[in-house]
Amino acid sequence: MAMKGFIRKFKPLEILSEEQFQAIHKATLDVLQNVGIRIEHKRALKLLESHDCQVDYGNMRAKFPPGLVEESLQKCPSSFRVKARDPQKDLIMGGNTIYFGPAPGKQTVNLDTWEPREATRKEAYDGLTILDALPNVHFLPSYTPYFGFEGLPPVMRIPEICAAKIRNSTKWFFEGYSNDCEIFIIQMAQAMGIDIMCSMLASPPLTFYGEAVECAFRMAEAGMAGRVLPGGICGATAPVTIAGSTVTANAEILAGIVLLQLMRPGMRIEVKDFTYPQNMRTGSPAFGNIGVSLHGVVFSQIWRRYGIPAGMTTAYPSSKIPDFQCGYEKAIIALIAALSGINLQLVQGAIHGELTHHPVQAIIDDDLVGMIGRFLEGVEVSDETIALDLIAQVGPIPGEYLSKEHTRKWWRKEQFIPQVADTLTYPEWMKKGKKSCLGYAKEKMEEILAKHKPTPLTGSQERDLEKILEDARVFYKDKGML
């Protein structure tokens, strides 16, 4: 058994012609071979040098022969399982399956003023309870739901959030790294018997900092899965064009893949696009911009061809409140991602970019994801669904279908039933206080918090977790960081 996710039953959306694909692929190999990637990690450079990469230690730059790149791609499994705390919630990544996860935020928002503020510990844990309960949240990404909570010293944010995810959800998750915290993340995963994946994040253009590579070595040595992502901003740290920024992003990811496959041949790897156009007024990522989708669809097409499970850039909106803009930005990005055949997509909960998240928004977005998921399942065509016999039996007026068993059997499969969307008639809507999905979502949040109790850890698991957190505190105290 594994988490069901959504299975796409039709051909994915592809927007590159064969010629365009080949041109981008060739340019990517060219960058790897002739420009190279700066890797600020001596052990990694030595490893690459011993496998025919040309290494300049002064500039920390490695140049990759195309043969090695192709060979490394071959070593990556095209589909693999990652273990969750509840085995029924393992993910099987790859193929036609798409899993959705929440889009985390640095802070929460005040639901009356929509202004950002730091979440409390209780709000972080409650946020995870909501995500554990939502049916279309299939896994939890890094820094979820918040990048930390009140009173946490910066170095303890990732370990504490990781522990919160383990405590309040049985869903699979992946995590970030910083200041060697992956040492403790790996220990937590091992103590719980789960698979963890820490991101190996490039620092564009064409660079990996030592910290990312060190984390990758630790993940590989512990037998965990790997995740490589670029983080380019088109026009600032990547070319402004979709084609050019695809080349640099893919060159960065491929360099990461070569390294991971040299560290541990056959390592399970997921790749994720994390490329945003630049907001040319503020210099920030242009959240909600259609460039995210154009880049993502191209990314999806290329990595499906390479045979590696892939995730698309998060469906972060630029809006600050759950309004029309928030809805269309998320819907367009999430729907296009799903149609493109991507395997992982983050949607639920983001209010503005990666700065804010709220469970109420996650509940609204869960309906959006459910609608998309239903669409992906496509149309079943069989004797039973065509229903020729029934059509003949009902005939013209006064025939009807409402009273038929066929309707009772099929309608729930054919439709998607939203949890909090307003689907009332005008009279009902007026009588019930003219509520919108936002009002229903607030009620739903209270209902979930009252009823849903995440499966608790056993006593010994909780002791293990607390011991690892204490070890992390001592580690950072000794380093003078706490």
Partner 1 sequence: MKEEILKGLQKSLRDYDSEGCIAWAKKANQEGVDPLQAIDALTEIIQEVGDGFSRGELFLPDLIAAGATMAGAMAELTAALKQKGLERKSLGKVVIGTVFGDIHSIGKDMVSTLLTASGFTVHDLGIDVKAERFIEAIKQDRPDILAMSALLTTTAKEQKVVIEALKKEGLRNQVKVIVGGGAIDQSFATGIGADGYASTAPEAVNLVKSLIGR
Q: Which residues bind partner 1 (CB under 8 A)?
A: 154, 235-236, 278, 280-283
Q: Measured from the CB of residue 285, what is the shortest distance to partner 1 in angstroms?
A: 12
Nearer to partner 1, 149 or 440 (CB): 149
Q: Measured from the CB of residue 481, what is the shortest distance to partner 1 in angstroms?
A: 11
Q: Measured from the CB of residue 182, what is the shortest distance to partner 1 in angstroms?
A: 18
Please say whether the beta carbons of 309 and 80 come within 8 A.
yes
Nearer to partner 1, 285 or 370 (CB): 285
Nearer to partner 1, 23 or 355 (CB): 355
Q: Measured from the CB of residue 280, what is the shortest distance to partner 1 in angstroms?
A: 4
Q: Measured from the CB of residue 454, what is the shortest distance to partner 1 in angstroms?
A: 31
Q: Measured from the CB of residue 283, what is the shortest distance to partner 1 in angstroms?
A: 5
Nearer to partner 1, 96 or 325 (CB): 325
Nearer to partner 1, 265 or 283 (CB): 283
Nearer to partner 1, 235 or 370 (CB): 235
Nearer to partner 1, 286 or 437 (CB): 286
* Token representation of residue 206: 């064409």
User: Long-range contact list for 407-416, CB < 8 A, 24+ apart?
Assistant: 410/385, 413/380, 415/374, 416/370, 416/371, 416/373, 416/374
Nearer to partner 1, 282 or 403 (CB): 282
Nearer to partner 1, 144 or 278 (CB): 278
Q: Measured from the CB of residue 203, what is the shortest distance to partner 1 in angstroms?
A: 11
The separation between the first and the last C-alpha atoms of the chain, rounded to the nearest angstrom, is: 42
Q: CA–CA separation, 36 vs 30, rounded Å?
A: 9
Please say whether the beta carbons of 222 and 190 come within 8 A.
yes
Q: CA–CA separation, 477 vs 174, rounded Å?
A: 26
Nearer to partner 1, 96 or 279 (CB): 279
* Token representation of residue 272: 């994720």
Which residues are CB-contacts of 248 (< 8 A; sequence separation ≥ 6)?
31, 204, 205, 206, 230, 232, 238, 239
Q: CA–CA separation, 155 vs 256, rounded Å?
A: 25
Q: Measured from the CB of residue 284, what is the shortest distance to partner 1 in angstroms?
A: 9
Nearer to partner 1, 299 or 476 (CB): 476
Q: Measured from the CB of residue 286, what is the shortest distance to partner 1 in angstroms?
A: 11
Q: Measured from the CB of residue 326, what is the shortest distance to partner 1 in angstroms?
A: 22
